[in-house]
Amino acid sequence: MPPAADLLTLSRLGLAVVLPFALMRGGSLPAACWVLAAASDYVDGPLARRTGTPSRHGPLLDNLADIAFVLGGLGTAAALGLVPWLVPGAILLAVVDYARAAFEASRGMVPARLARNRVGHVAGVLNYACLGVVCARLAWPGATPAIVLTAVELATIAVNVAAVVVRMVARTGAART
C-alpha cells in the first residue's frame, strides 16, 4: 500500500479529473474540490516527512498532481470564458520550461539550482489562488468583485512568465561561467 502522503497526492489527481466537470456545472462543488486539493497539497509533503515515509516519486507525483489540477481547472475556466486563455497559457509555458530545466539538471547539463526558483514557487501559489478565486466566484456569485479576479489573473500571468525569464537569465549566467 502506498504511503498516506502519496495517497493524498493521488486524491488530488482524482480531483483534477472531477474539477472540469464541476466547473461546467457551477455552484459550490468547484470550491469544495479546490479546498480539498489545496489542503492535500499543503499536507502531503509534511506528512511524508513527519511519518518518515517520503517516496522517491513523491515530489514528481506532487508536481504532476498540481499541474493537472491547476491546468485542468484553469483550462476549463478559459473554455467557459471565466478567465482569459493567457492564464493557462502562461502556466503551461512555465511548466514546460520547468520540465526542460529539471531534465537538463537531471542529466548534469545545467546546475540543479536552475530548475527551481523562488519566483516559480510564488507562481505555483498564485496558480492555486487564481483557480480558487474562480471557484469562489462560481460558489458565491457577486461576493468577489471582478477586479479581484482580474488582478489575480494578471499576477498569475506575470509571475509565471517571470519564472521563465529568471530561469533563462540564470541559465545564460551559468553558461558564461
pLDDT score recorded for residue 93: 97
Where residue 75 sits, what CATH number does that domain have? 1.20.120.1760
- CA atoms of 135 and 144, how far apart (whole Å): 10
Residue 26 domain boundaries:
4-176
pTM here?
0.91
| Mean pLDDT, 10 residues at a time, the chain of 177 residues | 78 96 97 96 82 73 93 98 98 95 82 80 96 96 92 98 93 66
pLDDT score recorded for residue 38: 95
- CA atoms of 99 and 91, how far apart (whole Å): 12
pLDDT score recorded for residue 50: 82
Give me the number of domains the chain comprises.
Answer: 1
pLDDT score recorded for residue 176: 59
- CA atoms of 154 and 44, how far apart (whole Å): 29
DSSP codes, 9-68: HHHHHHHHHHHHHHHHH-TTHHHHHHHHHHHHHHHHHHHHHHHT---TTHHHHHHHHHHH
